[in-house]
């Protein structure tokens, strides 16, 4: 779908307490969707994956009336951004652009733009508000996971480093 036929319905901005490295890991990790984000994703089935993209069929709750979609995520690491596009199903032809700006070793600003096809001004406000609620929850969950992962990595570095130093002194 052409970007000019899409309506910008909302912009979400915040600082994530995680490095760019953790964020790129998270964006590539399609498998975590139904596990970490159970309230938003019931299942995910990978259709295709490259170094800079993945495409999957997702199922969204509720279980008694599931909705499906095919989504594609494309990374543009050189320009610190990525797109999530809905190719089929619920939300088809919508596009979400996320731009990243590192603030330091463990903080990254994000700006997320939500574009959808065929909405009027009144409808755009309601759709935008729904996206903002959803993405606040998703990023809250992701941020906690990325921070915990960093803690575990740091803990391992602290525990491993003295062993390496000790071996050097002994050898």
CA distance 85 to 94: 6
For the chain, give me the number of helices (H) and strands (E)? Answer: 3, 7
Q: In the chain, how many domains are there?
A: 1
What band does 159 get if pLDDT is binned at 50, 70 and 90?
A: low
> Stretch 31-59: mean pLDDT, rounded?
96
67-71, 139-143, 157-161: segment of lowest average pLDDT:
157-161
Q: What is the CATH number of the domain that holds 92?
A: 3.30.530.20
pLDDT at 1 over 50: no
What's the predicted TM-score (pTM) here? 0.86
Residues facing residue 75 across a β-bridge? 82
> Stretch 127-156: mean pLDDT, rounded?
95
């Amino acid at each position: 779908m052409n970007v000019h036929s899409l309506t910008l319905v909302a912009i979400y901005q915040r600082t994530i307490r995680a490095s760019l490295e953790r964020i790129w890991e998270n964006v590539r990790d399609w498998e975590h969707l139904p596990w970490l984000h159970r309230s938003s994703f019931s299942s995910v089935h990978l259709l295709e994956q490259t170094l800079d993209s993945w495409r999957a069929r997702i199922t969204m709750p509720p279980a008694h009336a599931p909705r499906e979609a095919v989504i594609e995520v494309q990374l543009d690491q050189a320009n610190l951004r990525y797109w999530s596009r809905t190719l089929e199903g619920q939300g088809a032809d919508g596009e979400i652009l996320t731009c990243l700006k590192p603030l330091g070793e463990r903080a990254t600003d994000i700006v997320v733009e939500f574009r959808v096809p065929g909405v009027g001004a009144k409808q755009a406000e309601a759709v935008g508000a729904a996206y903002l609620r959803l993405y606040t929850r998703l990023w809250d969950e992701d941020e906690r996971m990325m921070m915990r992962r960093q803690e575990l990595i740091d803990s391992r570095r602290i525990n491993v480093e003295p062993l390496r130093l000790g071996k050097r002194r002994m050898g």
